[in-house]
Amino acid sequence: MAFEPLKDRLLVLREEQSNQTASGLYIPDTAKEKPLEGKVVAVGPDAKEDGINVDDTVVFANFSGMEVMIEGTEYLILTSKEVLGLIK
């Protein structure tokens, strides 16, 4: 991929939600919410200083960041301040 985030920005690939609930009900695509966590694909230099690295799973607030399409895949660009936490 030919994308490198600047300063404190991250490139995040959203984690897909399951189409089925724990009780076995199927959720149609129109009723699903966008996931609020994702895998970090690329990290700017200032975000590395904040302790965020490539392959980390991050949690972010609803309506955070900016959605972009790169090479046919939808990503989210966040600043390190929009990240609420890391999932270890």
pLDDT for 40-79, tens place per residue?
999 999 999 989 999 999 999 988 999 999 999 999 999 9
On the question of pLDDT at 30 being above 80, the answer is no
Task: Give the pLDDT band of residue 88 (cuts 50, 70, 90).
Answer: confident
Distance of CA 88 to the CA centre of its chain: 15
Q: 35-68: buried (b, 16+ CB within 10 Å) or exposed (e) per residue? A: ebbbebbbbbeebeeeebeeebebebeeebbeee
Report the CATH architecture of 9-87: Roll (2.30)
The residue extents of the domains of the chain are 9-87
Structure token digits, residue 78: 């966040």
Q: Whole-prediction pTM value?
A: 0.79
